[in-house]
């Protein structure tokens, strides 16, 4: 009873005056006071936490519950934001670049397709919010396991490594989409609520530091699952290879890609590349075993009926395939209306139907083919043209194509970029990020997107976020 809160209201007239009331004899006052004291009001209103929720500290005292908080991050990657799913980068950046045409009614997506995105675009805001929500989850795990005394050092390393990977992966997507972004390393909401943006190069520096630490922590850990649905040291290296390519550190890119090429192998049957047991998969998100039991990428992009299509592959992409490219055969599928007056093509990398009785495919985020193309490009940049052509030809051969004719550095780089377009189409926006980083976006999109402007290379910071945290100003140019 002594803890009287000064900020609450001091309207205790009735009680006070009662206690002071001289009419009441003293013994009764004492009885009441004793009663209050014996039963201990303050203690009485303190309750134990319930069994179905866990207090943060206890979560990190048991490896099983830490595993559950990690699982929450992978689940959210699959379901909600930019990483995978209906709202992911795959369809959205597909229509922003030159991969997909858009026939749906969604205003936010129409803005992507037409290149007239405004700062209140819901999809953009969703991506931003979800990325930082995942980053919070990762930071909470990093802080939690660091202070935990109950975990073995191997467990602590694995959890921290995975969380560092997720933190850097999400930041890498954010920096690719928005340019300068805050790099969040703490769960302190007061700090994060007022955080400022870091220059793009500093964001990449942070990503690389985190990833290198993650590799160190994850190296040598036994895989948690057999089907590569949890990222490990290889996944971190694959991202390092990609980031080094993006920032132009060719040697490092070659080095990391080489490590992966030595440890994984390409699936030679194109029909089987996207199956869940594909040997070239470095990291994939396990599909829901309830519904849909296969990938939402497959579900979103597959056209069931014409008319009724939402996305369809563009003429630009379809016409880029060379004669005899098996990928055209295996990875795209036509569908016509009843009268065969019009035919659309949709991506057919994921083939499994929703109604299968078991999951056949998972959402693949990193696979070996990209690493070959990373190494090819980095080698070409370093002047190792033969090595570059070899790597490129690995991919071309699998697609049933002859060896590349390119033999100068420029030709090779051009051939590799085109190969990336055809190999990695409708996968996590690779095409858009390639157009952006190589400076080709203008030349290619100018023709097909009437609203094209150089400022479209970066998405707007969501307006609501600029209002909530003015330290994020200024808005990206053009919005």
Partner 1 sequence: MFLFLYLLLAPLLHQKLAAGITFDPPQSTISGTITDINGLPLGGVTIRVQSTNRGTISDMDGTYSIQAGPNDLLVFSIVGFRTLEVPNDGRNTINVQMEEDVTQLGEVILNAGYYTVSEKERTGSIATIKSEIMEKQPVANPLAAMQGHLSGVNIVQNTGVPGGSFSVEVRGRNFLNGVTDPLYIVDGVPYGSQSLAAPRVSTEIIGDISPLNAINPNDIESIEVLKDADATAIYGSRGANGVVLITTKKGKAGKTRFDAHLSTTLSGVSNFLDLMNSQQYLEIRREGIDNDGLTPLLENPALDGFWPDITVWDNNRYTDWQKELIGGTAYRQNAQLSISGGNELTQFLVSGGYLKETTVFPGDANYRKASLNSNLTHRSNNGKFKINFSSSYTREDNRLPGADFTQQAYSLEPNAPALFDEEGNLNWENNTWDNPLAALEEEFVAATNTIISNATLSYAVAPNLELKSSLGFTRYRLDSYVTNPNTARNPGLGLTPQNFSNLTTNASERESWIVEPQLNWKKHWDRLSLDVLVGTTFQQESSNQIVLRGRGFPNNGLIKNLAAAQSLEIFSTSDADYRYSALFGRINLKLYDRYILNLTGRRDGSSRFGPGRQFGNFGAVGLAWIFSRETLFKESSFLSHGKLRGSYGITGSDNIGDYRYLDTYNVSGESYAGTTLLEPSGIFNPQFGWEANRKLEAALELGFFNDRVFLNTSWYRNRSSNQLVGIPLAATTGFSQLTGNFDAVVENTGFEVDLRTVNVRSKQFEWSTTLNLTVPKNKLVEFDDLESSTFANRYVIGEPLTIVKLYNALGVNPETGIYEFEDYDGDGEVSNPGDLEWIEDLAPKWYGGMGNTFTLGNLSLDVFFQFKKQRAYNAVRFDATPGFRGNVPVALLDRWQQPGDIATYQRSSSGFTTVEDLGGRQQSSNAAVSDASFLRLRNIALNYKLPTMENRLDINVYLQGQNLWTLTNYYGPDPEQPSSTRLPPLRQLTLGLQISF
Site for partner 1, residues 402 to 441, rule: CB under 8 A? none
| Residue 467 makes contact with partner 1 by CB under 8 A | yes
189 near partner 1 (CB under 8 A): yes
For residues 177 and 395, which CB has a smaller minimum distance to partner 1 in the complex? 177
Q: Which residues are CB-neighbours of 246 under 8 A, at least 6 positions away?
A: 176, 204, 433, 437
Identify whether the C-beta of residue 416 lies closer than 8 Å to the C-beta of residue 429.
no
With contacts defined by CB under 8 A, how many residues of the chain interact with partner 1? 91
- Figure out which of the listed residues 147, 152, 225, 340 binds partner 1, where binding follows CB under 8 A: 225
75 forms part of the interface with partner 1 (CB under 8 A) = yes
CA separation for the pair 276, 301 (Å, rounded): 18
Choose between 207 and 380: whose C-beta lies nearer to partner 1.
207
* Distance of closest approach, residue 293 Cβ to partner 1, in angstroms: 11
Q: What's the CA angle centered on 431, arms 427 and 432, to 5 degrees? A: 110
116 counts as binding partner 1 under rule CB under 8 A: no
Q: Does 468 bind partner 1 (CB under 8 A)?
A: yes
State which residue, 257 or 352, has the beta carbon closest to partner 1.
352
Closest distance of CB 11 from partner 1, Å: 4
Task: Select the residue interacting with partner 1 from 124, 166, 184, 260 (CB under 8 A).
Answer: 184
What DSSP assignment string belongs to 366-386?
A: EEHHHHHHHHHHHHHHHT-HH
Regarding 150 and contact with partner 1 (CB under 8 A), the answer is no
Residue 328 CB, nearest approach to partner 1 (Å): 26
**Binding residue for partner 1, selected from 265, 408, 455, 464, defined by CB under 8 A:** 464
Tell me whether residue 4 is exposed, middle or buried, using C-beta atoms within 10 angstroms of its C-beta: 0 to 12, 13 to 18, 19 or more: exposed
Distances (CA, A) of 15 to 19, 31, 96, 143, 345: 6, 15, 68, 47, 79
Residue 105 binds partner 1, judged by CB under 8 A: yes
Rounded to a whole number of angstroms, the minimum distance from the CB of residue 277 to partner 1 is 15
Residue 417: alpha-carbon gap to chain centroid? 23
Among 136, 255, 326, 411, binds partner 1 (CB under 8 A): 136
Q: Which stretch binds partner 1 (CB under 8 A): 127-135, 162-170, 273-281, 386-394?
A: 127-135
229 contacts partner 1 (rule: CB under 8 A): yes
Q: Does residue 17 touch partner 1 according to CB under 8 A?
A: yes
Tell me: does residue 176 bind partner 1 (CB under 8 A).
no
26 in contact with partner 1 (CB under 8 A): no
What is the Cα–Cα distance from 203 to 7, expressed in whole angstroms? 43
Position 147 contacts partner 1 (CB under 8 A): no
Burial class, 307, CB count within 10 angstroms (exposed 0-12 / middle 13-18 / buried 19+): exposed
By the rule CB under 8 A, 342 interacts with partner 1: no
Output 103 or 345, the one with its CB closest to partner 1. 103
Binding mask 34-73 for partner 1 (x = CB under 8 A): xxx-xx-xx-xxxxxxxxxxxxxx-x-----x-xxxxxx-
Asked whether position 339 contacts partner 1 by CB under 8 A, the answer is: yes
How large is the angle between the packed helices 409-423 and 385-398, nearest 10 degrees? 30
Closest CA to 288 of 350, 200, 361, 230: 361
**Cα–Cα nearest to 225, from 281, 184, 147, 170:** 281
187 binds partner 1 (CB under 8 A): yes
Q: Which of residues 154-173 bind partner 1 (CB under 8 A)?
A: none
Closest contact distance (angstroms) between CB of 478 and partner 1 is 17
220 binds partner 1 (CB under 8 A): no
ω into 474 cis (within 30 of 0): yes
Please report whether residue 20 would count as binding partner 1 according to CB under 8 A.
Answer: no
Range in contact with partner 1 (rule: CB under 8 A) among 84-92, 100-108, 155-163, 257-265: 100-108
Cβ at position 12, least distance to partner 1 in Å: 5
Task: Write the interaction track for partner 1 spanning residues 281-310; mark x where CB under 8 A is met and - where it is not.
Answer: -----x---x--------------x-xx--
Question: Are the C-beta atoms of 348 and 362 separated by less than 8 Å?
Answer: no
Please report how close the Cβ of residue 195 comes to partner 1 at its closest, in angstroms.
5
Segment 195-214, which members bind partner 1 (CB under 8 A)? Answer: 195
**Could you say which residues in the range 351-390 bind partner 1, by CB under 8 A?**
357
Torsion of CA 219, 253, 269, 323, to 10 degrees: 170
CA distance 33 to 265: 79
Pick the binder of partner 1 from 114, 119, 133, 212 (CB under 8 A). 133
235 and 165 in contact (C-beta within 8 Å)?
yes
- Which pair of tokens denotes residue 463? 């307006």
Q: Residue 275: is the preceding peptide bond cis (ω within 30°)?
A: no
Closest contact distance (angstroms) between CB of 110 and partner 1 is 9
What's the CA gap between 70 and 151, in Å, rounded? 15
> How far is 242 from 237, CA to CA, in rounded Å?
9
């Amino acid at each position: 009873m002594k803890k009287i809160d000064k900020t609450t209201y001091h309207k205790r007239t009735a009680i006070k005056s009662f206690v002071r009331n001289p009419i009441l004899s003293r013994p009764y006052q004492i009885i009441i006071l004793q009663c209050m004291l014996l039963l201990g009001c303050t203690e009485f209103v303190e309750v134990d936490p319930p069994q179905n929720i866990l207090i943060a500290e206890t979560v990190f005292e048991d490896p099983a519950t830490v595993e559950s908080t990690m699982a929450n991050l992978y689940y959210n990657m699959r379901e909600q934001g930019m990483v995978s799913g209906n709202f992911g980068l795959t369809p959205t950046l597909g229509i922003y670049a030159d991969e997909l045409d858009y026939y749906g009614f969604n205003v936010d997506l129409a803005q992507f397709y037409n290149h007239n995105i405004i700062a209140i675009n819901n999809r953009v805001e969703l991506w931003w919010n979800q990325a930082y929500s995942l980053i919070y989850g990762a930071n909470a795990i990093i802080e939690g396991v660091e202070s935990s005394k109950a975990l073995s050092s191997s467990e602590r390393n694995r959890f921290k490594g995975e969380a560092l990977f997720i933190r850097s992966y999400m930041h890498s997507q954010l920096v690719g989409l928005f340019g300068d972004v805050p790099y969040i390393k703490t769960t302190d909401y007061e700090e994060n609520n007022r955080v400022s943006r870091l220059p793009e190069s500093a964001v990449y520096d942070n990503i690389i530091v985190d990833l290198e630490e993650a590799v160190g922590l994850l190296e040598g850990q036994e895989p948690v699952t057999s089907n590569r649905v949890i990222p490990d040291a290889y996944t971190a290296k694959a991202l390092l290879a990609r980031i080094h390519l993006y920032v132009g550190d060719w040697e490092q890119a070659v080095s990391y890609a080489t490590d992966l090429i030595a440890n994984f192998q390409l699936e030679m049957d194109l029909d089987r590349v996207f199956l869940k047991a594909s040997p070239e998969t470095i990291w994939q998100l396990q599909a829901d075993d309830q519904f849909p039991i296969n990938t939402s990428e497959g579900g979103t992009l597959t056209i069931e009926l014409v008319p009724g299509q939402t996305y369809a592959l563009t003429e630009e992409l379809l016409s880029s395939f060379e004669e005899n490219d098996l990928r055209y055969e295996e990875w795209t599928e036509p569908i016509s209306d009843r009268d065969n007056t019009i035919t659309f093509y949709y991506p057919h990398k994921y083939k499994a139907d929703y109604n299968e009785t078991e999951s056949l495919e998972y959402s693949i985020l990193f696979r070996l083919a990209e690493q070959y193309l990373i190494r090819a490009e980095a080698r070409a940049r370093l002047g190792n043209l033969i090595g570059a052509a070899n790597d490129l030809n690995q991919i071309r051969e699998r697609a049933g194509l002859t060896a590349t004719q390119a033999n100068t550095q420029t030709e090779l780089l051009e051939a590799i970029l085109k190969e990336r377009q055809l190999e990695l189409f409708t996968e996590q926006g690779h095409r858009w990020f390639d157009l952006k980083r190589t400076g080709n976006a203008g030349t290619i999109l100018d023709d097909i997107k009437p609203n094209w402007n150089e400022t479209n290379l970066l998405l707007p910071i969501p307006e609501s976020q600029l209002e909530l945290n003015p330290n994020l100003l200024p808005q990206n140019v053009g919005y």
